[in-house]
Structure formats: C-alpha cells, structure tokens
C-alpha cells in the first residue's frame, strides 16, 4: 500500500478535536474514498462515538458561511465535493473555553468534533457538499441545548478567507452573542444510583469535588421503575454508576425476597444496560463475591459463575447484563464496610456490651472499606482504564469471620477470647443462604491499572476510632455471627 494513502489523524489545540486525512483513490473516471471505516478510524484515534444519523449539507455558492454552533452530540464531518474553511471554538466549561482552531478541508480531509465544540464552515468553492455523522438524533427539543458564539467575535478573531461582509450569512447567525456573553456548555454528567447506601455514601465523598456528578437514592431514581428512566434526558449523561442492590442474602431465599432480589439485581440491571447501549453511556456496576461458590482459593476476574444461593444467582445475572454494554466496568467486591449496617459495627457493638458471640471460622475473605472501593471506581473512570471486570477489595492477609471478629474485639479493648469460633455447619440456621467458603479476590488487575488497595488491617484500625463506629443496625444474621 502506498503509505501516502494511509489513514492519518492529528490532534489540535482543542481537546478531542481531531483532523483526519482520508485516502482518496482516483483515475480518469473520478475518485473513491472510504468516508467512514470504524475499525481503521478507531485505530487512528477516533473515539467509538456510535453514530446514529447521517446528514448532508449542500452549499450552492462560494462564501456561504455557517456557524458557530456547539451541539449536544459528537459529529464526524467530511467533504463529498468542493472546499471549505473550518473554524472550531471550544465552548465547553473548562480551561480551554474560547480556544480557536482553523483549517481548510477538501474531500481528502475529515474532522471529529466533540460535543460542546462550536464549528463553523465557510465554502471556498461553488457546489460544496459535506456529510456528517452524529451520535444522537436531531429534534426541536435537542436544539434548545445548542450553544452559539458570533462569527465576528473580536476575542476569537477568526480570519475568514472571505470577509463576512462579502459572505452569505443567515440573519440568525449574525445575532449570536459575543464570547463574553456565552454560557459554556456543561459537560456530560455522571449519575450515581443507590447513593444512600454504604457505597453510595462513600461515592458522595469521593466525587464531592466534581460538579458534573449527580447522586440519586431510591426516592430520586427507582431502578425498577420505567418512569424513572423516562424522566431523564440521557443525552446529558456520559456515565451511570449503579451502587443500588438487594443485599439481604438470607431474605433472598424466601419467596418475597427472591422476587425482590431478581427485580433489583438482575431485571433492573438489564434495563440500565439497555439504556447505556441506547445512549452510548459508560456503565459501572457493582458485583459480588457471591457469584462464586468459593471452591477456588482466590477468585480471578475471568472465573466462571457458580453461585450457591438466590442472591448470588441474581447478582450473576446482573453481571451478564452489564457485560453486554460496550463501555462497562463491572467492579467485583466483598465484605463491604462503610457508614451503615455491617459486620464490623456489629462486632464493635457486641464488644462494648461484653457479649460472647459465635462466629464462623471456615469462610475467608478480605474487607472492602467503602471509601477505598469508591476511590477505586473513580480511579477507573479518571484514568480511562480498559473496560471490563475488576476485583476491588482491600489488601493484606485474608481472614475468617471469626479472626476478624477477634481483631475487632482487640482493637475495641475487649477480650478476643470472648469470640467463639464455630463451623458453618454448626452455625447455619434453617432458611439461610449458602455462602462461598472463600471470598478472596485476586487484586493483581486493579493494582496493574495503577490503583493500590490499602491494607485491610490498617483501615480496620482507623475505622474503629470511636467517632466512626457509632450507629448502624445489627448485621450479625447476614455476616455469620450470633450473640
């Protein structure tokens, strides 16, 4: 292949705005080019922006000037005939607001314009036509989300090849505001669901400095209700973090709990996945060690599902649904401890009362402190880690529930010997759910991504400071302990 005819891309001073050189093959009959080739263009740096609509703009006369319009979607523009001068202005919130880039385009050229970057074109030849792919459907409602700036703005100072007074410009474009009067287009938002639970509370803290993040508890967004999905304009979002789940492991074995577990952990997740696919969103979904039977000593991300109980089965089904989203992070965790109902709070309360609980000693794992789990989730998003499944728990040596309970007693100033270790067989009550023997997760993948989970023992000591463990309901029935 002639290297001069290979697809090439180059960056610009505007983040995300990319120029492409398209190979054009011609002879006496005319020319041919691959105007859109997803695989080649992704390899050349184009985001996988999932276009859904193809438009053509024909301009009969030289000097026709359109713009500067920032639209609420991404677009890929290329010429079919003629020649144009393009001007792009960053109209998004942020430090590059107002940045200008210009270039001349021919049928050999194309440009990827990200959402919020204003684009204007001036035709330099008669009978110029350009096509553009967009990743959302145009509607009159969508047009309300446009952002505009005046073609003649003195601060931007576009050097139009054909002066504007000699150009064909619509009256509407002449009336657009100067840059100083433009409200920047806000970035796409992240929606965190289940924001009132242990992990949800930690995510509120982890993203407290990000104004583009919205938090929704069940009262604001019920993941089982179609009305919740219809109420949002998904065009304004880029990411969903689903921290909502049915976690009553034993209750899931009863008829009412079984239905709730499947409704929340599986059916609702499939609805979130469909929404993510339809609107090209990133879906972050929280998984569980209960999708495994625990026969493996350490669980890798690629281990096949083998859930023992209804809760684990419903979570595995949710994982399958979330995995169908091209842009997904399935975050598998275990033994979560945060602000709310959890094993550590229960043991600390029992220690304070001088109780002597019986705790199982043949189920092993590591604690996952919610603040570290939330930090790991933010790390995946901020670093744009490769999509897929990641195990995240705290690090350090695995422990049994009984070993952990004794350590809580010791750190609380109580006698560890008051904790009696028992086997699962001796502990299990009628109607309770089976548990995996090992909940230990392999952390090599998340560590290789640049996130080092803190040691669980260090986090436990910090968590048991007096102002951290007050409150919370008794969790002994769910975590293998009886007072």
Closest CA to 266 of 213, 302, 320, 193: 320
Q: Which residues are catalytic?
A: 69, 132
Q: At what angle do helices 401-411 and 456-463 cross, to 10 degrees?
A: 40
SS (H, E, C) the chain: CCHHHCCEEEECCCCCCEEEECCEEEECCEEEECCCCHHHHHHCCCCCCCCCEEEEEEECCCCEEEEEEECCCCEEEEEEECCEEEEEEECECCCCCCCEEEEEECCCEEEEECCCEEEEEEECCCCEEEEEEECCCCCCCHHHHCEECCCCCCCCCCCCCCCHHHCEECHHHHCCCCHHHCCCECCCEEEEECCCCHHHHHHHHHCCCCCCEEEECCCCCCCCCHHHHHCCCHHHEEEEEECCCCCCCCHHHCHHHHHHHHHHHHHHHHHHHHHHHHCCCEEEEEEEHHHCCCCCCCECCCCCCCCCCHHHHHHHHHHHHHCCCCCEEEEEECCEECCCCCHHHHHHHHHHHCCCCEEECCCEECCEEHHHHHHHHHHHHHCCCCCEEEECCCECCCEEHHHHHHHHHHHCCCCHHHCEEECHHHHCCCCCCCCCCECCECCHHHHHCCCCCCEHHHHHHHHCCCCCCCCCCCCHHHHCEEC
């Amino acid at each position: 292949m002639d290297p001069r005819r290979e697809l090439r891309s180059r960056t610009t001073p505007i983040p995300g705005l990319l120029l492409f050189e398209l190979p054009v093959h011609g002879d006496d009959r005319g020319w041919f080019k691959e105007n859109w080739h997803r695989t080649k263009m992704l390899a050349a740096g184009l985001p996988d922006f999932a276009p859904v609509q193809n438009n053509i703009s024909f301009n009969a006369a030289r000097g026709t000037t359109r713009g500067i319009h920032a639209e609420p979607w991404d677009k890929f523009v290329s010429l079919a005939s003629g020649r144009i001068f393009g001007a792009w202005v960053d109209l998004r919130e942020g430090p590059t607001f107002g940045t200008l880039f210009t270039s001349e385009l021919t049928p050999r050229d194309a440009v990827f314009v990200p959402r919020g970057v204003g684009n204007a074109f001036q035709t330099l030849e008669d009978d110029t036509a350009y096509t553009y792919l967009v990743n959302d459907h145009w509607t009159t409602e969508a047009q309300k989300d446009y952002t505009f700036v005046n073609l003649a703005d003195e601060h931007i100072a576009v050097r139009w090849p054909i002066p504007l007074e000699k150009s064909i410009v619509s009256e509407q474009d002449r009336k657009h505001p100067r840059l100083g009067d433009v409200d920047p287009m806000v970035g796409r938002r992240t929606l965190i669901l289940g924001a009132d639970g242990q992990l949800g509370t930690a995510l509120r803290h982890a993203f407290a400095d990000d104004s583009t993040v919205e938090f929704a508890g069940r009262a604001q967004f019920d993941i089982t209700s179609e009305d919740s999905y219809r109420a949002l304009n998904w065009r304004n979002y880029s990411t969903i973090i689903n921290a909502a789940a049915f976690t009553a492991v034993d209750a899931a074995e009863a008829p009412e709990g079984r239905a709730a577990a499947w409704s929340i952990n599986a059916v609702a997740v499939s609805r979130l996945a469909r929404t993510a696919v339809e609107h090209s969103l990133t879906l972050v979904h929280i998984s569980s060690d209960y999708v495994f039977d625990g026969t493996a000593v350490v669980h890798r991300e690629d281990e096949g599902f083998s859930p023992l109980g209804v809760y684990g089965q419903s979570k595995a089904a949710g994982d399958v649904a979330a995995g169908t989203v091209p842009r997904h992070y399935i975050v598998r965790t275990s033994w979560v401890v945060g602000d709310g109902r959890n094993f550590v709070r229960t043991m600390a309360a029992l220690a304070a009362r001088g109780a002597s609980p019986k705790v199982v000693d043949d189920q092993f794992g590591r604690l996952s402190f919610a603040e570290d789990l939330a930090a790991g989730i933010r790390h995946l998003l901020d670093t744009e880690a490769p999509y897929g499944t990641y195990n995240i728990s705290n690090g350090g040596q695995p422990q049994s529930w009984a070993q952990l309970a004794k350590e809580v007693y010791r750190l609380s100033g109580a006698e560890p010997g008051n904790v009696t270790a028992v086997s699962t067989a001796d502990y299990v009550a009628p109607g309770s759910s089976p548990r995996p023997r090992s909940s230990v997760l392999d952390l090599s993948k998340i560590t290789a991504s640049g996130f080092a989970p803190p040691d669980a023992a260090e986090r436990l000591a910090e968590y048991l400071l007096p102002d951290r463990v007050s409150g919370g309901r008794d969790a002994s029935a769910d975590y293998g302990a009886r007072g």
